[in-house]
Structure 1
Amino acid sequence: MELKNKPNIIGEKKAYLPLAIGIYLNYAILGMATIIISQYGNQFQLLWHTDVKGISTVISMIGIGRLLTILFAGFLSDSLGRKVTMLIGMITQIIFLLGLFLSTNLISACIIALFMGATNSFGDTSSYPALTDAFKNHAASMNSLVKAAMSIAQFILPFVVAAQPNAKITLITMVTIIILDIVLIGLANFAPQTLVQQHPSKKFKKVARPTTSVKTKTSQPSMLIDGSLLIIVGFTLSFTFYIFSQYAPNFGSNVLKLGINSSKSLISWYAMASLISVFVTSSLVTHIKPIKLIFIYTLISFLALLQMIIIRSADGARLTAIAIGFFAAGGIWQLGLTLLSQYFPTEKGKVTGYYSFATALTFFVGPLVSSFIIDDTAAGVLHVFEIDTVITLLSLIIISILMIRNRKFSL
């Protein structure tokens, strides 16, 4: 089967190009959908008869939706196929976007937000494997472009909001694009999803076991210690950039007293830096060990957040937006997953599931905790960012421990 594929590799790339375009377009809309509630926060408050606490509660429900569906979505992707799972995710996204402006109260908005969580689950468990299947030799770069598509879209959205203040028109436009994308995905060719790839991994396990038994226990990572710490880092790293992306506009308007457009533009700086980081980080990781890069990135993120809550200036907030976008949201999460996979190569599927579950937990816990603290006052918003800074410091402490332990591993 592989011998047949090799002569036609150029033809295959052309054959799977519509699939890649469809996935990137889908994630561009997904990137916008992730922050659209906060971008049109004032309109949704009026529509749902709530306040900023209610908005935060709705955002937290996205995390619950992801938690409830992430494991099931992975099973569905393997059993029913990538295309079916991907289309399910796109349909749930349409339900979410339409439901945002059809909801007339907080309860209905919270229910609708669950569908966005499902969209994340079905999208991730189908899109990444589909790209990996279709572009085996360039899987890493093709997958990194998913993040690039989201970053570009999140950079553009604040300008869209400024040009089109009516949320309903923006939402309908997004739905229209998804419907067209569904047609593209439906017609696109998907790489064969066979079980052949599983057999070599089983053989690898049998070969790898004798080599690991020869090494001393101290030369190998411990699932109990290193695995658990990295999974926790999956939560804390996500917390840093997710909370910033959701509440940066609130910081601009309530703490810095900036205008609405200036406050929302912080997300554009954040997204632009995130996009640049995708490409820079993918290059740096070939020269610097992932654990060292994670430490450097987290340290800079912590210092940036710290200066933002202490100095409290517009320029400082923009600088922090750039720093968080580049050093926290541009690929550090993927580096953590890469390191986890290197630590436990024979259990990639299991540890990836744990790592993703911890991240999904962020999307629920972060906004939920914030909903009890945040209000329309400067003090309330500051408390949210103080928590974000503390969680980032926790990341730094855990990564420092992992760095010390990493020195004695023979990988």
Structure 2
Amino acid sequence: MEKKYFPTALALYINYIIHGIGVIIISQNTDALALQWHTDTAGVMTVVSMLGIGRLIAIVFSGYLSDLFGRKPFVFLGIASYVLYFLGLIYAPNITVAMILTVIAGIANSFLDSGTYPALMESFPKHAGTATVLIKAAVQIGQWILPWIIILASSLRMYQLSFYIAAVVLILNAFWIWKVPFPDEDAKAAKATDEAVPEETATVFKAKPNMFIEGAAFVVYGFISQATFYTISQFISAYAKEVAGMSNNAASLLLSYYSTGTLICVAFTALVGLKIRPVNLVLPYTFMSMIAIGAMTMFPSTTVLVVGSVLVGFFAAGGVMQLGLTVMGEMFPAGKGTITSIFYTFGSIASFAVPFIGGRISIQNVMWMDTIFAVIGFVIALIVFIRYYQTIDTKASK
């Protein structure tokens, strides 16, 4: 049954390759867009920040509506919104229009999440962790591809090329998605014809999960898991220069080490996740993240920061957030779109809170803040691990 949805999954991953491009396409074309919009670099970065606002606006309700109306409509809404974003930016005459379009892109991200994550979990219930972690790989692929497209565009003196390519790929992919099956649609069709509807999940419960315990833990984890790696990605270079005395170039390279760790983890998790339950990965990943960040905070030497950056990329940014969502989907299998919204709403809040708080305290205290986040994350992961095995019958759930 899972093989039937391979084409569906591939099409969904292509959307996230383009999403990866969309997240950084403005910052990678700062000079050209600043000239077009009659602003400066700070103005362009203000436009970029609107992605988070758009995401937060839509993620609150999009998951519930995905449960109500189906996964495919929200994937199409995400595609349409992103096409408007890419093509609109080319012709945006000023920063105001650009900000509106970027809010739309944030909304597009939420629409894609609300349709894609539940669809993948429903398509591959036995390998949901691997299926959702591969979204992270797709995003990284997009962000690796874009610089090469920009080099080509620069040689052609046509910076708009990357925007056009992204829009065209999405439009073509929409025709593909129109043709491929989605599990929720198949289930409805089978029910309408009185056919036997296959179980979307093999989860069997010994005791019903408690929304006030597991549910609350997952909500907090949605915030903590995002905050933990986002703090490193935003502040590690400044921390390395100010506290460890590293040069500008050496400090900047820490993000490359961080990205390398992320990609290695995605590949590792995608393979190991075929045999190991996601909950069994969340706990050690969160523990190692806590150790790495704690070491970087207490022993800020060049060697520790280099090794720590790779480890944080692997254990904190390489897919543990997606694995956490997968475990939540196992424990609360009804309404996967709704739980995706709840989980990522708090992740979006973290995207605002981290730079807001971090910009108002010393860089040393920023790292202590992240250490506290990591400790809380491990405690939550431990609670979830214990409650998972108290509630789910792992022998029957295969």
Q: Considering the TM-score relative to the shorter chain, is it more than 0.5?
A: yes
Specify which structure has the higher proportion of helix.
Answer: 1
> Is the contact made by 1:155 and 1:267 (CA closer than 8 Å) also made in structure 2?
no
Structure 1: which amino acid aligns with 2:347?
Answer: T
Name the SS of the counterpart of 2:321 in structure 1.
helix
> Is the contact made by 1:297 and 1:327 (CA closer than 8 Å) also made in structure 2?
yes
> Is the contact made by 2:233 and 2:255 (CA closer than 8 Å) also made in structure 1?
yes
Which residue of 368, 375, 382 maps to 1:393? 375
Please give the alpha-carbon distance, in whole angstroms, between the structure 2 residues aligned to 1:42 and 1:330.
Answer: 31
Count of equivalent residues: 377
Which residue of 151, 169, 179 maps to 1:190? 179
Which residue of 333, 346, 354 maps to 2:321? 333
Q: Specify the alignment match of 1:3 in structure 2.
A: none
How far the C-alpha of 1:202 sits from its partner, in A, is 9.5
State the identity as a percent: 29
> Is the contact made by 1:240 and 1:392 (CA closer than 8 Å) also made in structure 2?
yes
Structure 1: which amino acid aligns with 2:253?
Answer: S
Which residue of 299, 305, 330 maps to 2:293? 305
Structure 2: which amino acid aligns with 1:277?
Answer: C
> Is the contact made by 1:248 and 1:266 (CA closer than 8 Å) also made in structure 2?
yes
Matches within 5 A, 1:99-178: 111=100, 113-128=102-117, 141-154=130-143, 172-178=160-166
- Unpaired runs of 5+ residues, structure 2, are 394-398
Please give the alpha-carbon distance, in whole angstroms, between the structure 2 residues aligned to 1:109 and 1:387.
Answer: 34
Change (3 A) 1:268 1:304: same
Please give the alpha-carbon distance, in whole angstroms, between the structure 2 residues aligned to 1:135 and 1:44.
Answer: 41
How far the C-alpha of 1:78 sits from its partner, in A, is 2.7
> Is the contact made by 1:155 and 1:272 (CA closer than 8 Å) also made in structure 2?
no
Structure 1: which amino acid aligns with 2:319?
Answer: G
Q: Specify the alignment match of 1:94 in structure 2.
A: 86
1:221 aligns with 2:224: no
How far the C-alpha of 1:271 sits from its partner, in A, is 2.2
Q: Specify the alignment match of 1:369 in structure 2.
A: 357
Please give the alpha-carbon distance, in whole angstroms, between the structure 2 residues aligned to 1:308 and 1:395.
Answer: 17
Name the SS of the counterpart of 2:180 in structure 1.
coil
Name the SS of the counterpart of 1:330 in structure 2.
coil
Deviations 1:37-74 (A, max 9, x none): 777899999985576xx998766543321121124444
Q: Specify the alignment match of 2:396 in structure 1.
A: none
How far the C-alpha of 1:224 sits from its partner, in A, is 0.7
Change (3 A) 1:91 1:268: same
Name the SS of the counterpart of 2:160 in structure 1.
helix
Structure 1 stretch displaced more, 401-410 or 172-181: 401-410
Change (3 A) 1:180 1:274: same
Change (3 A) 1:239 1:109: farther
- Unpaired runs of 5+ residues, structure 1, are 1-5, 374-378
Please give the alpha-carbon distance, in whole angstroms, between the structure 2 residues aligned to 1:39 and 1:227.
Answer: 39
> Is the contact made by 2:129 and 2:323 (CA closer than 8 Å) also made in structure 1?
no
Q: Specify the alignment match of 2:168 in structure 1.
A: 180
Structure 2: which amino acid aligns with 1:228?
Answer: A
Matches within 5 A, 1:4-403: 17=7, 23-34=12-23, 61-74=50-63, 75=65, 78=70, 81-82=73-74, 84-94=76-86, 98=90, 111=100, 113-128=102-117, 141-154=130-143, 172-188=160-176, 189-192=178-181, 195-198=185-188, 199=191, 219-252=207-240, 255=243, 256-260=245-249, 262-285=250-273, 288-373=276-361, 379=362, 381-403=363-385
TM-score, with length taken from structure 2: 0.74
> Is the contact made by 1:155 and 1:268 (CA closer than 8 Å) also made in structure 2?
no
Structure 2: which amino acid aligns with 1:272?
Answer: T
Please give the alpha-carbon distance, in whole angstroms, between the structure 1 residues aligned to 2:313 and 2:102.
Answer: 24
How far the C-alpha of 1:230 sits from its partner, in A, is 1.6
Change (3 A) 1:145 1:73: same
How far the C-alpha of 1:302 sits from its partner, in A, is 1.6
How far the C-alpha of 1:326 sits from its partner, in A, is 1.0
Change (3 A) 1:43 1:252: farther
Structure 1: which amino acid aligns with 2:356?
Answer: L
Please give the alpha-carbon distance, in whole angstroms, between the structure 2 residues aligned to 1:173 and 1:382.
Answer: 42
Change (3 A) 1:283 1:343: same
How far the C-alpha of 1:237 sits from its partner, in A, is 0.7
Name the SS of the counterpart of 1:312 in structure 2.
coil
Structure 1: which amino acid aligns with 2:109?
Answer: N
Change (3 A) 1:141 1:221: closer
TM-score, with length taken from structure 1: 0.72
How far the C-alpha of 1:183 sits from its partner, in A, is 3.5
How far the C-alpha of 1:29 sits from its partner, in A, is 3.8
Change (3 A) 1:290 1:192: closer
How far the C-alpha of 1:131 sits from its partner, in A, is 5.9
